[in-house]
Amino acid sequence: MADKEVDLFVIGAGSGGVRAARIAAGYGASVMVAEEFRVGGTCVIRGCVPKKLLVYAARFADDFEDAAGYGWTLDEPTFDWSKLIANKDREIARLELAYTSALERANVKIVASRAVLEDAHTVRLIATGERLRAKTILIATGSAPYAGARIAGIEHVISSNEAFHLPELPRRILIQGGGYIALEFAAIFNGLGSEVTLVYRGDNILRGFDDDVREHLRSEMERRGIKIITRQTVDLVAKVEHGYCVELADHETFTVDRVMFATGRRPNVEGIGLAAAGVALARNGGIAVDEFSQTCVPHIYAIGDVTNRINLTPVAIREGHAFADTVFGGKRIAVDHANVPTAVFSEPEVGAIGTDRGGGLRAARAGGHLQDHVPPDEDVARRPRYARVLQARRRRRNRPRGRLPYRRTGCRRDDPARRRRGQDERDQGRFRCGHGGASDRRGRARDPADEGR
């Protein structure tokens, strides 16, 4: 028998779960959130935010070099990895406290425990054994790194989780993967002075993006000294006297100080009682939901990476807000998942929205044209940039598809270049910018554009 009852029980205090809890509490619901690790979730604790801090640190190497072109004379700079990690940890602790304080101010009860569904209405807290009855349950457990098929020596491999806590900067590192996380960490370690080898099983990095953007990014990364090997996989990792010996499928070997796999993430659906509650999974491995994030059990909902729809933090935040508005605010809101912008914090950065290469070519044949544009250099440093735009002939409207700028790709919610056809300013709250950051989550509990008017 349940010890107490709440209007809403949220499993997982990541960005999406926190937003949903705060907004629901603002509507007068009694809300409890269970988190077994740290408040803030992957993005804040060991994802987007700490990654960006490391990205900024890595870019200073270029800034020091560029300074001479602007008339500055500097002594030879030195880098301290341990100081960077300590400062990163301090900032993450500050953000975690900010998230916790925001929940407490909203009268949301936080419990430090894993939560498991015992049936469609009952939740058990593993840490205490307490059982609670919830009128509505929201699952926001996120995702976790997936290393792929087990190979000999997999115990020597780290993921992005461990990369944030390495005791020292590796002099040589091999990273397997060709997506966001692999490319971002390759740029980070390369910028901080490591010798980086990137191994990817596909034909080219960043699958799903415009082909020319992919090729341009690869050439720029190789120009910066990153060794990129495609159509290969790691078959074996062995501990040796001076690091690790890595053998690829073609038997080529490398000796490195660290081996990191960034081969994807999987929804956290195991061990939370989904079967006991009758919640079904989708073909993509995530929890199956409709356009309102509702599962096959009417009072159980799921948002964010655990649904494996669009696994971006701002999307999870928007889904959490829309859920609270729909269930507790009397505003039936479906999140628009079409044409969500996304950014890759590689070096150079990549930002994209709209069609992929094939979609762009089909649209061009239907009455528009593709335009490749290399903007003139506007600074003494002469950083390479590249943009590709699909221009529709009839409406004379430019639809950005992929870009490689020198500086920040962070896009604003009110940027007209990222709107879908037929949308106006009131529609922008229905979808989110592809990537936010620490600033995106400060003071947004009642952002008017988030109300989904």
What DSSP line would sit under 385-411, residue for residue? -EEEEEEETTTTEEEEEEEE-SS----
Q: What is the pTM of this model?
A: 0.82
* Cα 178 to Cα 215: distance, rounded to the nearest angstrom: 13
Count of alpha carbons within 13 angstroms of residue 110, beta-carbon side:
23
Q: What is the pLDDT of residue 274?
A: 96
H or E segment at 324? Answer: helix 313-328
Calpha distance 380→62 (Å, rounded):
12
pLDDT at 386: 59
Of the candidates 182, 139, 393, the residue with the CA atom closest to the CA atom of residue 277: 139
- Provide the token pair at 330: 């009397």
Domains assigned to the chain: 4-145+266-328 (3.50.50.60), 162-261 (3.50.50.60), 342-429 (no CATH)
Among 302, 337, 341, 342, which Cα is nearest to 323's?
Answer: 302
Q: What is the SS3 string spanning 183-245?
A: HHHHHHHHHCCCEEEEEECCCCCCCCCCHHHHHHHHHHHHHCCCEEEECCCEEEEEEECCEEE
Digitized pLDDT (tens) for each residue of the chain, 453 residues in all: 567 899 999 999 999 999 999 999 999 999 999 999 999 999 999 999 999 999 999 999 888 888 888 888 888 889 999 999 999 999 999 999 999 999 999 999 999 999 999 999 999 999 999 999 999 999 999 999 998 888 999 999 999 999 999 999 999 999 999 999 999 999 999 999 999 999 999 999 999 888 888 999 999 999 999 999 999 999 999 999 999 999 999 999 999 999 999 999 999 999 999 999 999 999 999 999 999 999 999 999 999 999 999 999 999 999 999 999 999 999 999 998 888 888 899 998 888 877 654 444 444 444 444 455 555 444 455 565 556 655 544 444 444 444 444 344 444 433 433 444 444 444 444 444 444 444 443 333 333 334 433
Q: Could you tell me the end-to-end alpha-carbon distance of the chain, in angstroms, rounded to an integer?
A: 41
Exposure b/e, 14-27, CB count within 10 A at least 16 = b: bbbbbbbbbbbbbb
DSSP tag of 69: G
| Distance separating alpha carbons of residues 185 and 204, to the nearest angstrom | 17
Element (H, E) at 258: strand 258-261
